[in-house]
């Protein structure tokens, strides 16, 4: 077992929800709404005590009534990272 740190970020052209799941259940989440720039940016960061059997996933939900959601796909704006502390 050990202590771990996770961080994720995403920017897109619509309202987004960014969620970290631990072992298949929602652990932390955030929602961002589009502002005047036409871009929503959402960050989620969490610390946790984990055993060797825990796993973490990052999910994005994006709102769209039609068309395609465009994520800003550079490492400056879209990433998921974790480390054992």
Q: Would you say the pTM of this structure is higher than 0.85?
A: no
| Selected residue with higher pLDDT from 78 and 22 | 22
pLDDT digits (tens, 9 = 90+) for 13-46: 788 888 889 999 999 888 887 766 677 788 888 8
What is residue 37's predicted lDDT score, i.e. its pLDDT? 67
Per-residue pLDDT, averaged over 1-15, amounts to 78
**Residue 24: predicted pLDDT:** 95
Residue-wise pLDDT for 41-74, tens only, equals 888 888 888 888 889 888 888 887 777 777 777 7
Q: Which long-range contacts (CB under 8 A, 24 or more apart) does 78-83 make?
A: 78/9, 78/10, 78/11, 79/7, 79/8, 79/9, 80/6, 80/7, 80/8, 81/6, 81/7, 81/8, 82/4, 82/5, 82/6, 82/7, 82/56, 83/4, 83/5
């Amino acid at each position: 077992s050990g202590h771990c740190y996770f961080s994720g970020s995403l920017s897109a052209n619509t309202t987004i929800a960014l969620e970290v799941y631990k072992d298949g259940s929602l652990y932390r989440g955030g929602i961002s709404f589009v502002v005047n720039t036409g871009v929503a940016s959402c960050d989620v960061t969490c610390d946790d005590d984990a055993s060797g059997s825990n796993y973490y996933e990052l999910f994005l939900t994006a709102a769209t009534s039609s068309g395609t959601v465009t994520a800003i796909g550079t490492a400056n704006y879209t990433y998921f990272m974790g480390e054992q502390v």
